[in-house]
C-alpha cells in the first residue's frame, strides 16, 4: 500500500475506476479513507514489524486469512468491516494465538459510496482496537459496475502462539466436555432477517464479536482446554463434525442444553432451518477435560462474550467422527455436516 501524502483532498462521493488505477485518485482514496484511520506504520510496500513475543523460545507464528462477501454489507449488529476484523481475529485466537497484526484488502465496485467505505473502515478500527491488533498493511482494487457487489474485504492475520500452548482438534479425548460461549445462530438469523426476503420483522442482532479476551480468560482458568473452533459457516454442527473427524472421536450433544434465543428458535421453526447449521460470528465451541469444564465455564461467564456459556455435550467412545444429538423427546439423531448451502454470502 502506498501511503504517501495526499496531493488533493478527496471530493468524490462515489468510487470510480480511477480510484483503482494506481495514480493520484487512488492515492487520495487510500490516504483519506484508509490510512488516515488505520495509521499503519511506515510508508513502504510492506509493513515492517517486530514484537518481543515472536522471538521467545518455543513461540509459533499463527497466520490466517478470510475473504468476506456478506450481504447486506451493513446489518443489525455489524457490517462487513466488523465481521472481517472479528473473523480473522477469531481464527487466530481459537488456536491459542495472541493476535498482533492484520492486513485488509478491499475489492470495491465502481459506484460504491465513499461514505459506506468510511463507515466500514471505522468499524474495523473499533474492532481492531478492542482486540489489541493493528491493521498494518492493505490494498484497494476497483472493478466495474456489476463485476462485484459493493465491496468485498479480505483480512489476513498474524499472531503468536506462546510456548507450551497446543490447542488442536486432534487433542480432544473421550470424556471431554463441549462448551459454547453463548446463544447459537444469531448471525445467520440476523442476516436472513436483514435481507428482507422473508418479510420477517425479527429484532435479532448478529453475534459478531472478537473472542480473544474470552479465550484468554478460559485458558487461564482451565489451561487443559484441548481445542476451540469458531462456529461460522456451517454452524455448530460443522465445527463439531470437524473436531470429531480430526480427533477420531464421537461427540454427543444434548438438544435441551442448546442455548437459543426464542426469536431464532421461532424463525427456524417458520422457515424449516436447523439452528445447529446457522452461522455465528462470535460463538465458539471449545473442549475442556472433565475436571476443568466447570472452571472454564465460570471464567467464560465472567467475560462479555461468554455470559451465556454452557456445556452442550460430551465426547464419547462411539464411532470415530460421528456427532449425535439427544433430542428433546429422548431420541437420538445424527448431526451430519451441512449438505448443500443454507445461506449464501453469510460472511
Of residues 306 through 345, those in contact with its own copies by CB under 8 A are 337-345
Residues 116-145 that bind its own copies (CB under 8 A): 136-144
Q: How many residues line the site for its own copies (CB under 8 A)?
A: 93
Candidate residues 32, 113, 149, 254; the one interacting with its own copies per rule CB under 8 A: 149
CA-based radius of gyration for the chain: 21
Strands 177-180 and 310-316, by their bridges, are antiparallel
Contacts (Cβ under 8 Å, ≥6 apart) of 180: 231, 236, 259, 283, 284, 285, 309, 310, 312
Candidate residues 55, 201, 272, 334; the one interacting with its own copies per rule CB under 8 A: 55
Residues 234-273 that bind its own copies (CB under 8 A): 234-235, 238, 242, 245-246
- 184 contacts 231 by C-beta, under 8 angstroms: yes
Residue 68 binding its own copies, by CB under 8 A: yes
**Beta-ladder partners of 249:** none
Candidate residues 33, 69, 117, 258; the one interacting with its own copies per rule CB under 8 A: 69
Q: Which three cell numbers stand for residue 12?
A: 468524490
Could you list the beta-strand ranges (E) of 209-249: 227-230
Nearer to its own copies, 46 or 256 (CB): 46
- The residue among 240, 246, 261, 238 whose CA lies nearest residue 312 is 240
Please, what is the minimum distance in Å from the beta carbon of residue 160 to its own copies? 10
- The residue among 188, 286, 277, 283 whose CA lies nearest residue 234 is 277
Please, what is the minimum distance in Å from the beta carbon of residue 309 to its own copies? 20
Nearer to its own copies, 189 or 201 (CB): 189
- The residue among 185, 330, 347, 324 whose CA lies nearest residue 268 is 185
Residue 209 binding its own copies, by CB under 8 A: no
Residues 20-49 that bind its own copies (CB under 8 A): 20-27, 42-49
Nearer to its own copies, 262 or 340 (CB): 340
Residue 54 binding its own copies, by CB under 8 A: yes
Amino acid at each position: 500500500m502506498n501511503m504517501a501524502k495526499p496531493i488533493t483532498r478527496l471530493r468524490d462521493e462515489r468510487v470510480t475506476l480511477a480510484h483503482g488505477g494506481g495514480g493520484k485518485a487512488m492515492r487520495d482514496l487510500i490516504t483519506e479513507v484508509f490510512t488516515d484511520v488505520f495509521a499503519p506504520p511506515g510508508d513502504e510496500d510492506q509493513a515492517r514489524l517486530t514484537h518481543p513475543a515472536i522471538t521467545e523460545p518455543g513461540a509459533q507464528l499463527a497466520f490466517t486469512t478470510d475473504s468476506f462477501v456478506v450481504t447486506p454489507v451493513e446489518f443489525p449488529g455489524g457490517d462487513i468491516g466488523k465481521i472481517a476484523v472479528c473473523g480473522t481475529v477469531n481464527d487466530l485466537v481459537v488456536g491459542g494465538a495472541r493476535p498482533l497484526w492484520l492486513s485488509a484488502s478491499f475489492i470495491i465496485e465502481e459506484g460504491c459510496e465513499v461514505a459506506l467505505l468510511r463507515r466500514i473502515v471505522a468499524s474495523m478500527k473499533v474492532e481492531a482496537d478492542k482486540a489489541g491488533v493493528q491493521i498494518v498493511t492493505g490494498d484497494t482494487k476497483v472493478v466495474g459496475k456489476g463485476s462485484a457487489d459493493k465491496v468485498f474485504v479480505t483480512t489476513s492475520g498474524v499472531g503468536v502462539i506462546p510456548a507450551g500452548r497446543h490447542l488442536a482438534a486432534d487433542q480432544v479425548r473421550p470424556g471431554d466436555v463441549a462448551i459454547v460461549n453463548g446463544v447459537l445462530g444469531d448471525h445467520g438469523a440476523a442476516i436472513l432477517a436483514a435481507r428482507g426476503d422473508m418479510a420477517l420483522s425479527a429484532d435479532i442482532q448478529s453475534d459478531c464479536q472478537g473472542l480473544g479476551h474470552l479465550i484468554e480468560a478460559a485458558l487461564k482458568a482451565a489451561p487443559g482446554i484441548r481445542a476451540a473452533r469458531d462456529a461460522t459457516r456451517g454452524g455448530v454442527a460443522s465445527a463439531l463434525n470437524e473436531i470429531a473427524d480430526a480427533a477420531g472421536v464421537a461427540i454427543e450433544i444434548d438438544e435441551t442444553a442448546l442455548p437459543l434465543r426464542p426469536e431464532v428458535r421461532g424463525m427456524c421453526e417458520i422457515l424449516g432451518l436447523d439452528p445447529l447449521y446457522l452461522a455465528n460470528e462470535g460463538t465458539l465451541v471449545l473442549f475442556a477435560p472433565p475436571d476443568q469444564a466447570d472452571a472454564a465455564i465460570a471464567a467464560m461467564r465472567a467475560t462479555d462474550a461468554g455470559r451465556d456459556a454452557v456445556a452442550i455435550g460430551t465426547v464419547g467412545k462411539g464411532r470415530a467422527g460421528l456427532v449425535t444429538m439427544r433430542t428433546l423427546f429422548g431420541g437420538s439423531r445424527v448431526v451430519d455436516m451441512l449438505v448443500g448451502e443454507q445461506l449464501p454470502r453469510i460472511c
